[in-house]
Amino acid sequence: MKKLLITGISGLLGSNLAYYFKDKYDVTGFYHKNRVAHKDIKMHAVDMTRPDDVKHNIDLCQPDIIIHCAALADIDQCEEQPELARRCNVETVGHIVNAIKGSPTKLIFISSDAVYDGKKDKYCEDDAVGPLSVYGRTKVGGEQQALKAPRGLVARTNLIGWNILEKRHLAEWMIHELSAGRPIKGFTDVYFAAIYTFKLAELLAAAMAVDLEGVYHFAGSNAISKHDCAVLLAELYGLDKKLIEPISVDQFKLKAKRAKNLILDVSKLQTTLHRNIPTVEESLRRFHADDRDGLPQRLKREFAV
Ligand X SMILES: NC(=O)c1ccc[n+]([C@@H]2O[C@H](COP(=O)([O-])OP(=O)(O)OC[C@H]3O[C@@H](n4cnc5c(N)ncnc54)[C@H](OP(=O)(O)O)[C@@H]3O)[C@@H](O)[C@H]2O)c1
In whole angstroms, give the CA distance from residue 284 to residue 211: 28
- Quote the least distance from Cβ 164 to ligand X, whole Å: 9
Nearer to ligand X, 164 or 212 (CB): 164
Nearer to ligand X, 230 or 240 (CB): 230
- Quote the least distance from Cβ 70 to ligand X, whole Å: 4
- Quote the least distance from Cβ 242 to ligand X, whole Å: 27
Nearer to ligand X, 133 or 158 (CB): 158
Nearer to ligand X, 142 or 243 (CB): 142
**CA proximity to 193, closest of 158, 217, 165, 218:** 158
- Quote the least distance from Cβ 283 to ligand X, whole Å: 12
Nearer to ligand X, 1 or 305 (CB): 305
**CA proximity to 147, closest of 215, 50, 223, 231:** 215
- Quote the least distance from Cβ 144 to ligand X, whole Å: 15
- Quote the least distance from Cβ 181 to ligand X, whole Å: 26
Nearer to ligand X, 34 or 270 (CB): 34
By the criterion CB under 6 A, which residues form the site for ligand X? 8-14, 30-34, 46-49, 69-73, 88, 110, 112, 157-159, 169
Nearer to ligand X, 73 or 107 (CB): 73
Taking CB atoms, the residue at the shortest distance from ligand X is 11
- Quote the least distance from Cβ 12 to ligand X, whole Å: 4
| Cβ 103 vs Cβ 61: under 8 Å | no
In whole angstroms, give the CA distance from residue 256 to residue 274: 37
